[in-house]
Chains A and B, each alone.
Chain A
Amino acid sequence: MELIAFYAFATLAVISSLLVIGQRRPMTSVILLIVSFGALSGLYVLLDAPFTAVTQIIIYAGAIMVLFLFVVMLLNAHTEDDVPKTAVMPHGAKIGVVLSLALAAEVVWALQRLGVTGFGPDQGASASISSVARIGSALFTTYAFAFEVTSILILVAMVGAVVIARREP
């Protein structure tokens, strides 16, 4: 049962990700990426991580993708420009395909060699990592410093985004 759900979500994620990079309209890309994030959220549920699944939907599909959609609509650039092939890298696309296929083969080969099977202990033990209380207490004790630094990061990103996107006076 779990295996069927895994393959369904995995297929959905891979196909929608391929379609994201496979077609030329940024608007469709963004919508398809939301589908891919939904599938990943289902995989997080399979991994006993409901908190991560929900944050995936709220932050990624809800906030980040809406930001992307907003910019795509704002810029009014409907499709990719038909740029002439640059003289610098005439076969750039082919090299790119070969390099990414090589990367996929390397990564899959290396991960297969790890030879890990199963998921360790049974379902009872996995309840300990799916509790939001455990995540919260770890986040606010062990990782409290990182958590606070994150707020500075977001502040800097916000100010930076406003300054960069501002119209020149």
Chain B
Amino acid sequence: MLSLNHFLVLSGILFSIGTAGVFLRRNLITILLSIEIMLNAVNLTFVAVGRYRLIVDGQIITFFVMTVAAAEAAVGLALVIALFRHRETLSPDAFTMLKW
């Protein structure tokens, strides 16, 4: 019997995979992809809880999250292009000027 718990646990696992990607990868594009994985995990939670409570709000907020993800991808990739043009690399270690 399929239950809400299945979907919540799966989305928790996917979110952790996305977090691991942000921690581990040294490539700006892969880091952005990991953020997309995290956003999708949260979307799955919204839709599953909306199905559990029989309301459409879960699907509607998923729609908005997708819109925000599209905007974030556009601006993030523009930043990646601008950074690559300056340093000829995608490694986040090359962009530490504001760090210390």
Chain A interfacial positions (CB closer than 8 Å to B):
2-3, 6, 10, 13-14, 17-18, 20-21, 24, 26, 29-30, 33, 36-37, 40, 43-44, 46-49, 51-52, 55-56, 59-60, 63-64, 67-68, 71-72, 74-75, 77, 80-81, 83, 86, 92-93, 95-97, 99-101, 103-104, 107-108, 111-112, 114-121, 125-126, 128-129, 134-135, 138-139, 143, 146, 150, 153-154, 156-158, 160-162, 164-165, 167
Are B26 and A83 interface neighbours, CB within 8 A? yes
Q: A100-B16, A126-B51 are in contact. Are A21 and B21 (CB under 8 A)?
A: yes
Q: A116-B4, A139-B63 are in contact. Are A14 and B30 (CB under 8 A)?
A: no
Nearest CB in chain B: distance from A53 CB, A: 9
Are A118 and B75 interface neighbours, CB within 8 A? no
Are A52 and B25 interface neighbours, CB within 8 A? no
Question: Out of B2, B21, B78, which one reaches A46, CB within 8 Å?
Answer: B2
Are B20 and A146 interface neighbours, CB within 8 A? no
The chain A residue with its CB closest to the CB of B70 is A64
Nearest CB in chain A: distance from B84 CB, A: 5
Nearest CB in chain B: distance from A107 CB, A: 4
Instruction: Give complex CA distance A46, B60 in Å.
Output: 17
Q: Which residues of B contact A167 (CB under 8 A)?
A: 85
Q: A48-B51, A111-B5, A116-B4 are in contact. Are A75 and B37 (CB under 8 A)?
A: no
User: What would 24 A/B residue contacts be, using CB atoms closer than 8 Å?
Assistant: A10-B10, A14-B17, A30-B29, A33-B33, A40-B44, A44-B44, A52-B63, A60-B36, A67-B77, A68-B29, A71-B77, A75-B90, A81-B26, A81-B89, A86-B93, A107-B12, A111-B5, A111-B8, A116-B8, A126-B54, A135-B59, A153-B68, A165-B77, A165-B82
Q: A101-B16, A129-B55 are in contact. Are A75 and B84 (CB under 8 A)?
A: yes
Question: Out of A33, A64, A95, A121, which one reaches B69, CB within 8 Å?
Answer: A64
Are B23 and A97 interface neighbours, CB within 8 A? yes
Q: Which residues of B contact A51 (CB under 8 A)?
A: 59
